[in-house]
Amino acid sequence: MLETARELTLEAAQSAAINRSSKSDYSSRTYSAAHVKKLLDSRHEREVLDGMRRVISLMYHSEPSLNFFSAVVKNVASANLEVKKLVYIYLVHHAEAEPDLALLSINAIQKSLTDSNPQVRAMALRTMSGIRVPVISQIVSLAIKRGCGDMSPHVRKAAALAIPKCYRLDPNTLPQLMGYLSTLLGDSQYFVVGPAVAAFLDLCPDEIDLIHKNYRSLVKKLVDMDEWGQLATLRLLTFYARKCFPRRTRMVKPSAPESFYDDENLQDDQNDGEEYEAPVMDPDLELLLRACKNLLMSRNSAVIVSVVRCFLYLAPSEYIESAIGPLVALLRSPQDMQLIALYNIVAVALRTPKPFARYTAHFLVHANDPPHIWRLKLEVLTILFPHCGRHWKGVIIGELEHFSKGTDPDLVRESVRAIGRCAQGDTSTSGMCLRILLGQISSLDGNLVSESLTVIRHLIQQDPASHKNTVLQLVKHLGSTTHPDARATIIWLVGEFAGVDPENNIAPDVLRVLIKGFADETEMVKQQVVLLGAKVYLHHLLQNPPKEQPEQTESSTEPEKSAPQQDFQNEWNDNGTGGSPDADQPHEEGHTPKANAREAKEGEEEEEKEEEDRITLLWRYILLLARYDTSYDLRDRARLYKSLLETPSSTQLANLLLLAPKPVPHAPSPSETRKDLLIGSATLVVGTDAGYHGLRGYTTLPDWVELGHEPDSSLRVEDVKPDTSATQASLTAGARLDKALKEHQSTVAPVRNRNGVPMAADPAGKKTLDQWLQEESEEETETESETDSEGETDSEEESGSEEESDEDEEDDDESEEETDSESEAVQKESTQLLG
């Protein structure tokens, strides 16, 4: 009592001192290293604690704190819990740098493993497994084994958490660790199971044999676990379900009211007649899905996404529909999580857009959304667009139009594209979208104009037949648009439509007008003009086949090189002199083809060439212009078209080349490429940057197991394990442990066989080790159960310390022969000692 009072006074004095001095009093400035060392060496706990705090501060300040190592390690056996904690933190942080000194502390930590306070035991286990010195892997493994059988669930939890760490220390311990895991996975405490599942996923996610008998208990505990345990378990069970529950279907006769909707199904199935396939769910899978439904009100966004993943990949559609709302609700969270939620929403919406429609209002872009957020919101809006009613469609289009007039060029571009995608997704509104876009090409914003035109081009190409007039409208804009992209796009479109309605086509006229300003155009536009010329000329050739004959003879008789040269000369002259008549010609434009046709029948070469065939003249003139252009690319192109169109024999080839039907462009949703990535993974967010296989550690969901290949469902029947509380209560702790160990042994053996990898240690030694431990732990737990958690008896402690002294020797050995401090050596030693 007196002691306590004194402590209290000291504590008060200290906090007063802290108050007086500045708060950053622990920083190194005020205290020299020598002073800290002195504190650490002090015999007063309080001073040691003070010293430890300073050391930790140094450590976090990234200032040298390694030189205190020996002084700190001395305190590892301190009776004061706080000192111990800080020493442990220091030790884990620095052990790698000072492996030898760290090994000295193992001894004391091991002693703590048998402490009467479970908190101390758990801490010791966690620290020991955290020390990254591979030689101790066997000791850690033993410690975990002891932890697995501990009375306190906290220690068992620490054991579960230590398993992956031990595995990383030395992968050879895997078979033992899997044995421990199978014990822990069957633990009755939900907060032990969670970390055990996480360890399982880390260690051996494919060994689903360990899961079978725990499956149902895992599902039952799912709701009670903490969020992190739920996450691990949901992931495990999702993978497990794919591997163990084949997709069964059975034939069902559609009931009368449903038949309307099932028509489509019937068509798909073709031969099923009246029946259609309905999925049959495994009762065990249904158990999981029902348990998941309870998690949809979790406050943890990651849990929600995990449930969505589970429903999306495993369950029939009614389940995923119930999860859409909670998924959308994630948009309430802070912006950083909102972003991730949106990625997942997009991925889900690409598969099942319909249920999102009622949450459309959540995806309206706000003025303060950063680019990565609005980009995804716009995408969601376009995905939902076809599924909304007309009212919301109007709102969405209005929103997109609003943003397309904004000042942020990226936002403008994206919203125009979004309008295009809307039109594409719902053809009934494409007319309206087109009108909006057409309204925008007279804008002053070149960016907006060219983007709009690109989208317009896509829309026109999707349905060329009904857009003849649209092209006409666009042509009118040629006069007012200066943006090269826009002009090029329009000219290209005119070229595409050059063959439509030959009696009444504007293409030759457009060409004629464009040629006048040819010299002032940018190269991109010039290219398109030349291309347009080639197309127009080609159409002309195709429509007047008789004309081919004379040309062919002409070109075949005359040497190729001189002929065009001559022609050009003539043409040039013609045009040069006939500049003014040019202006009059267009009035007759409408009649030219007819005239041509008539003239062609007459078959007089010269007449045709010089008087009637204006298109040929035009073409020659273009070639001439292009020939003297500064761009070699343009000159090359012109030459290509020239030789292609020169000989009638290659007209068909030119037809294939120039007038080939263009593939209909389809602008997919930007996230379409991520569609197949697993919901909830980081790879889904990173996307293609993560490489072909995704980020390291990314695994796709396995395919459904084929019918007949699945593990027998009877495996999942829980055996009479201490799972139900009744049996648990009746068993003594010792008996329970016995049982667990027996199970453990039986599971360890097959595991080894399955792996086919022989253990590094010889099986004999292993066995004795197990036996020895079993005996020991039996003793221990018996005494524990007698004293009923009020601390262990002396005898037990003795046995503990005996064991430690054994290992002390071992440690000493190690530190003496530092040269061969390999794990094998330790293993052998330990087997010798223990055996």
Show contacts with another protein in window 254-293 (CB under 8 A): none
Among 66, 208, 395, 597, binds another protein (CB under 8 A): 395
Phi and psi at 603, nearest 5°, equal: 75, 25
CB 125 within 8 A of CB 156: no
Identify the bridge partners of residue 248 per DSSP, sorted by sequence position.
Answer: 280
Q: Does 198 bind another protein (CB under 8 A)?
A: yes
Maximum Cα–Cα distance across the chain: 130
Contacts of 70 (CB under 8 A, 6+ apart): 101
Q: Supply the DSSP string of 207-229, one letter for each residue.
A: -GGGTGGGHHHHHHHTTTS-HHH
168 vs 242 by CB, closer to another protein:
168
SS3 track for 648-705? HHHHHHHHHHHCCCCCCCCCCCHHHHHCCCCCCCHHHHHHHHHCCCCCCCCCCCCCCC
Smaller CB distance to another protein: residue 568 or 698? 698
String of DSSP letters for 346-408: HHHHHH--GGGGGGGGGGPPPTT--HHHHHHHHHHHHHHGGGS-HHHHHHHHHHHHHHHTSS-
DSSP string of 215-277? HHHHHHHTTTS-HHHHHHHHHHHHHHHHHH---EEEEEPPPGGGHHHHHHHHHHH-TTTT-EE
Stretch that binds another protein, among 491-499, 529-537, 567-575, 685-693 (CB under 8 A): 685-693
Nearer to another protein, 158 or 617 (CB): 158
Contact 352, 320 (CB under 8 A): yes
Q: Do 549 and 530 touch, CB atoms closer than 8 A?
A: no
Q: Which stretch binds another protein (CB under 8 A): 684-692, 711-719, 800-808, 825-833?
A: 684-692
Smaller CB separation from another protein, 719 or 790:
790
Instruction: Report the residue number, 250 or 390, with the smaller CB distance to another protein.
Output: 390
Binding-site member from 38, 74, 242, 372 for another protein (CB under 8 A): 372
For residue 64, state whether it binds another protein (rule: CB under 8 A): no
What are the residue ranges of helices labelled H in 482-602?
484-496, 507-516, 523-543, 545-557, 562-577, 579-589, 592-602
Residue 204-243 contact track with another protein, rule CB under 8 A, x = bound: -x--------------------xxx--xx-xx--------
Cβ at position 130, least distance to another protein in Å: 7
The answer to the question of residue 820 lying near another protein (CB under 8 A) is: no
* H-helix or E-strand spanning residue 809: helix 794-816
> 371 vs 758, which CB is nearer to another protein?
371
Q: Which one among 64, 283, 389, 835 touches another protein, defined by CB under 8 A?
A: 389
- Of 270, 269, 288, 287, which Cα lies nearest the Cα of 278? 269
Return the bridge partners of 251, or none. 277
Residues 509-568 that bind another protein (CB under 8 A): 509-510, 513-514, 516-517, 520
Q: Does 635 bind another protein (CB under 8 A)?
A: no
Tokens coding 142:
């033993």
Q: For another protein, what does the binding mask look like between residues 700 and 739, x meaning CB under 8 A?
A: ----------------------------------------
| Choice from 426, 445, 718, 782 touching another protein (CB under 8 A) | 445
Nearest approach in angstroms of CB 146 to another protein is 15
Q: Which of 206, 318, 606, 689 binds another protein (CB under 8 A)?
A: 689
- Minimum Å distance from CB 509 to another protein? 5
| CB-nearer residue toward another protein: 358 or 639 | 358
Q: Indicate whether 587 belongs to the interface with another protein (CB under 8 A).
A: yes
Q: Which helix (H) or strand (E) holds 323?
A: helix 317-329
The count of residues interacting with another protein (CB under 8 A) is 165
- Please, which residue, 281 or 690, has the CB nearer to another protein? 690
Chain centroid, CA 113 distance in Å: 41
Q: Shortest distance, CB of residue 178 to another protein, whole angstroms?
A: 16
Quick one: which segment of 21-29, 172-180, 774-782, 818-826 binds another protein (CB under 8 A)?
Answer: 21-29
Dist. CA 736–CA 433, nearest whole Å: 72
- Shortest separation between residue 160's beta carbon and another protein, angstroms: 9
- Contact assessment for residue 321 and residue 355, using Cβ atoms and an 8 Å cutoff: yes
C-alpha angle 338-343-347 in degrees, rounded to nearest 5: 140
152 binds another protein (CB under 8 A): yes
Query: What residues numbered 125-144 form the site for another protein, per CB under 8 A?
Result: 126, 129-130
140, 162 Cβ separation under 8 angstroms: yes
> Does residue 364 belong to the site contacting another protein (CB under 8 A)?
yes
| HSE value, Cβ hemisphere, 13 Å, CA-based, for 636 | 3
Q: Near another protein by CB under 8 A, which window of 20-28, 134-142, 793-801, 803-811?
A: 20-28
Quickly count: other Cβ atoms within 10 Å of residue 601's Cβ. Answer: 11
Position among 3, 206, 706, 712 found at the interface with another protein (CB under 8 A): 3
Q: What residues from 767 to 796 belong to the interface with another protein (CB under 8 A)? A: 789-791
By CB under 8 A, residue 43 contacts another protein: no
Query: Which window, 507-515, 745-753, 795-803, 822-830, contacts another protein (CB under 8 A)?
Result: 507-515
H/E/C letters for each residue in 457-493?
HHHHHHCHHHHHHHHHHHHHHHCCCCCHHHHHHHHHH
The correct pick among 103, 136, 185, 305 for binding another protein (CB under 8 A) is 305
Q: What angle do CA 346, 347, 353 make, to 5 degrees?
A: 65
Name which of residues 323 to 352 contact another protein (CB under 8 A).
Answer: 325-326, 328-329, 332, 334-337, 339-341
- For the record, the structure tokens of 240 come out as 């497990």
CB of 695 to another protein, least distance (A): 4
Binder among 119, 265, 352, 647 for another protein (CB under 8 A): 119
Decide: 101 and 72 in contact? Cβ < 8 Å.
Answer: no
Out of 306, 544, 747, 827, the residue judged to bind another protein by CB under 8 A: 306
For another protein, the closer CB: 102 or 158: 158
CA nearest neighbour of 175 among 226, 124, 210:
210
Contacts with 29 (C-beta within 8 Å, 6 or more apart), sequence order:
none
Closest CB 34 distance from another protein, rounded Å: 21
Among the listed residues 246, 254, 406, 502, the single contact to another protein using CB under 8 A = 406
Q: Which of 185, 348, 388, 418: binder of another protein (CB under 8 A)?
A: 388
User: What residues between 23 and 42 interact with another protein by CB under 8 A?
Assistant: 23-27
Which alpha helices (DSSP H) does 21-80 contain, by range?
A: 33-41, 45-60, 69-73
Q: Which of 267, 482, 580, 630 binds another protein (CB under 8 A)?
A: 482
- Count of Cβ atoms closer than 10 Å to residue 210 Cβ: 18
Q: Which residue from 29, 260, 271, 479 is in contact with another protein, where contact means CB under 8 A?
A: 479
Tell me how far, at minimum, the Cβ of 1 lies from another protein, in Å. 10
Nearer to another protein, 119 or 655 (CB): 119
The Cα–Cα gap between 51 and 357 comes to 61
Binding status of residue 171 toward another protein by CB under 8 A: no
The residue among 473 and 647 lying less far from another protein, judged by its C-beta, is 473
